[in-house]
């Protein structure tokens, strides 16, 4: 259990390796797929996200955790420019 300070969890200073694309889904231990994250945040992330893919994580967030007036959107990096253009068209 992480130490508490003023009622909030303290972010650990110990860092651990996290595979952005899980190794169970083919993620490699290469620099572009590894993030260094606080160990307590890392445990919390896997407690929440398990090894779901990004689309399923977004679905869980939308269905259970955020204000229903908002949608958490997951977009493949290669599609970001198209999504931004589409968004601009909708709001012009």
Q: Does 38 bind Zn ion (CB under 5 A)?
A: no
Strand (E) or helix (H) holding 57: helix 54-60
Q: Binding segment for Zn ion among 12-20, 28-36, 55-63, 82-90 (CB under 5 A)?
A: 12-20
Identify the residue among 10, 18, 33, 63 touching Zn ion (CB under 5 A): 18
CA distance 79 to 85: 10
Q: Does 40 bind Zn ion (CB under 5 A)?
A: no
Smallest distance from the beta carbon of 19 to Zn ion, in angstroms? 6
Q: Is 44 left (phi over 0), alpha (psi -120 to 50) or beta?
A: alpha
Residues interacting with Zn ion, by CB under 5 A?
18
């Amino acid at each position: 259990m992480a130490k508490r300070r003023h009622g909030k969890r303290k972010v650990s200073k110990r860092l651990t390796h996290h595979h952005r694309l899980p190794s169970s889904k083919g993620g490699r231990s290469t620099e572009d797929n590894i993030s260094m994250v606080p160990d307590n945040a890392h445990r919390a992330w896997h407690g929440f996200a398990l090894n779901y893919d990004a689309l399923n994580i977004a679905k869980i967030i939308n269905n259970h955790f955020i204000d229903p007036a908002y949608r958490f959107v997951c977009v493949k990096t290669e599609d970001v420019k198209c999504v931004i253009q589409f968004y601009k068209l909708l709001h012009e």
